[in-house]
Amino acid sequence: MAAQVGLSLLLLIGAGLFARSVSNLRDLNPGFEVGHLLSFSLDPTLSGYKADRAKLFYRRLTQQLAALPGVSSAGLCVVPPLSFDNWSSDFSVEGHAARPGEDAGSSVNHVSPGFFATLKIPMRAGRDFTEADRGQPEVVVVNEKFARHYFGDRDAVGRHIGFGSNPGTKTDMEIIGVVGDTSYETMRQEPPRQVFIPYLQNDWAGQMTAYVRTDAGAAQMFPVLRAAVHQLDANLPVFLFKTEERQRDDSISVERLAANLSTAFGVLATLLAGIGLYGVMAFLVARRTREIGIRMALGAAKGDVVWLVVREVLLLTAIGVMVGLPAAFGVTRLLASQLYGITPNDPVTVTVATLGIAAIAVLSSYLPARRATRVDPITALRYE
């Protein structure tokens, strides 16, 4: 029973750590507002669209979505945030001499005018893209992390960068704005350096994700959004309708699965430990019925009899805790890489789990102990 208590404690501590990690990730600010934000994906090239026609379609779609009743803004992007997708490239920066071994890579996203406003990504400096940003000169927007890395406290707006890191790479893309840092692939990862490019200035146009900010409910808006697409092209498939809260939760699905499984195993182990302690104590109380009757006949108070039984369970629990805590500290260190915002030996989690297992133990012993105090002393003295 002591070993079972120790195992239950280990599982409860693990469950608590995973649950608090998930809570920390959900409370994390991704750099944009996930509330009242809906998204869906589409790919005109599946219906035979060429680049010019696809870009024209996306322009009309953005305007139509933004004009819908209840919609405050709309925007498009190629790489949806928090979707496990990644598009990265090396960049050369005007006036920056790369250090030996320096990582020149940054995450890339192709977006439409209005994308930053729709996701409510703050513009720190410069301006957003407009419909005019579709040719020469080529322009980009970078995030704060990119600007700090390459320019420090200096103004990044007006500087130039270029695709590639080879010597002699042209730096002909002008930085016109700096936006706040945002999560890219998942909530767990730190925001990377990011470069945003207007999709209108490229010859490529493929699958994109549309974002709509609205106060209306998802169930009400999704049919409206689908109808808006089909007004432009009734044969175009539309897929992956999601709320951004759902997208955020999907990005931490591995952590949530670990938390749910560990919680289920922890609760089951604790329940089995409680049932086992109850069974053992009920058996011991039944065997000590004559002893209990003698004690009560000699004047033992009911509280003394209850304590007689409970203290044995507390002893078993204490042994289990002394075994379980070191084991838990050792095992949770192996899980440190799976935790977020919490240490493997978090005192709050350890304390709550220990008190929880102690409470279950006391309850499982109190019931047979209380039943023992209701035995008539005369009947107990005759008990065989």
pLDDT of residue 207: 92
Q: Looking at the structure, do residues 199 and 139 belong to the same domain, yes or no?
A: yes
Listed in order, strand segments (DSSP E) in 95-249 are 105-111, 123-126, 138-143, 160-163, 173-179, 194-198, 208-214, 238-243
For the chain, the domain total comes to: 2
pLDDT of residue 297: 73
Query: Amino acid letter at 289?
Result: T
Q: Looking at the structure, do residues 165 and 120 belong to the same domain, yes or no?
A: yes
Assigned domain for 178 exists: yes
Residue 195's CB is within 10 A of a number of other CB atoms, namely 22
pLDDT of residue 382: 62
Q: Looking at the structure, do residues 192 and 100 belong to the same domain, yes or no?
A: yes
Residue 155 DSSP code: -
Assigned domain for 241 exists: no
Q: Which residue's entry shows tokens 């930085």?
A: 175
Assigned domain for 243 exists: no
Q: Name the strand (E) or helix (H) holding 277.
A: helix 253-287
CA distance 244 to 81: 9
Q: Are 165 and 92 in contact (CB under 8 A)?
A: yes
Closest-CA residue to 177 (of 151, 152, 144, 148): 144
CA distance 217 to 122: 25
Among 211, 236, 261, the domain boundary falls at 236
Closest-CA residue to 65 (of 276, 232, 218, 257): 232
Token couple for 206: 């493929």
Tell me the CA distances in angstroms from 63 to 117, 118, 210, 323, one per residue in order. Answer: 14, 13, 12, 65
Say if strands 138-143 and 173-179 run parallel, antiparallel, or are unpaired: parallel
Among 206, 236, 266, the domain boundary falls at 236
CA distance 266 to 363: 18
Q: Are 148 and 184 in contact (CB under 8 A)?
A: no
Three-state secondary-structure class, residue 364: helix
Among 189, 205, 236, the domain boundary falls at 236
Assigned domain for 32 exists: no
Say if strands 160-163 and 138-143 run parallel, antiparallel, or are unpaired: unpaired
pLDDT of residue 142: 97
pLDDT of residue 221: 94
How many residues would you count in the chain? 384
CA distance 155 to 286: 82
Q: Can you say how many angstroms the Cα of residue 119 is from the centroid of all Cα atoms in its chain? A: 19
Measured over the CA atoms of residue 320, residue 321, residue 322 and residue 326, the dihedral's sign is positive
Q: Can you say how many angstroms the Cα of residue 241 is from the centroid of all Cα atoms in its chain? A: 20
Assigned domain for 122 exists: yes
Q: Looking at the structure, do residues 49 and 195 belong to the same domain, yes or no?
A: yes
Q: Looking at the structure, do residues 88 and 211 belong to the same domain, yes or no?
A: yes
Residue 191 DSSP code: P
Residue 99 DSSP code: P
Q: Looking at the structure, do residues 6 and 50 belong to the same domain, yes or no?
A: no
Three-state secondary-structure class, residue 305: helix
The angle formed by the CA atoms of residues 246, 249 and 251, to the nearest 5 degrees, is 110
Q: Looking at the structure, do residues 20 and 121 belong to the same domain, yes or no?
A: no
CA distance 354 to 339: 20
Q: Looking at the structure, do residues 64 and 21 belong to the same domain, yes or no?
A: no
Assigned domain for 225 exists: yes
Assigned domain for 103 exists: yes
Whether the predicted model's global pTM rises above the 0.75 cut: yes
Query: Amino acid letter at 371?
Result: R
CA distance 13 to 7: 10
Three-state secondary-structure class, residue 203: coil
pLDDT of residue 358: 86
Q: Looking at the structure, do residues 366 and 293 belong to the same domain, yes or no?
A: yes
CA distance 26 to 252: 8
pLDDT of residue 167: 79
Q: Looking at the structure, do residues 210 and 346 belong to the same domain, yes or no?
A: no
Q: Looking at the structure, do residues 198 and 84 belong to the same domain, yes or no?
A: yes
Q: Looking at the structure, do residues 221 and 81 belong to the same domain, yes or no?
A: yes
Assigned domain for 247 exists: no
Residue 333's CB is within 10 A of a number of other CB atoms, namely 12
Domain carrying residue 220: 44-236
pLDDT of residue 378: 65
Low-confidence ranges of the chain (pLDDT < 50): none
pLDDT of residue 316: 82
pLDDT of residue 365: 78
Phi, psi of 309 (to 5 degrees): -85, -45
pLDDT of residue 375: 66
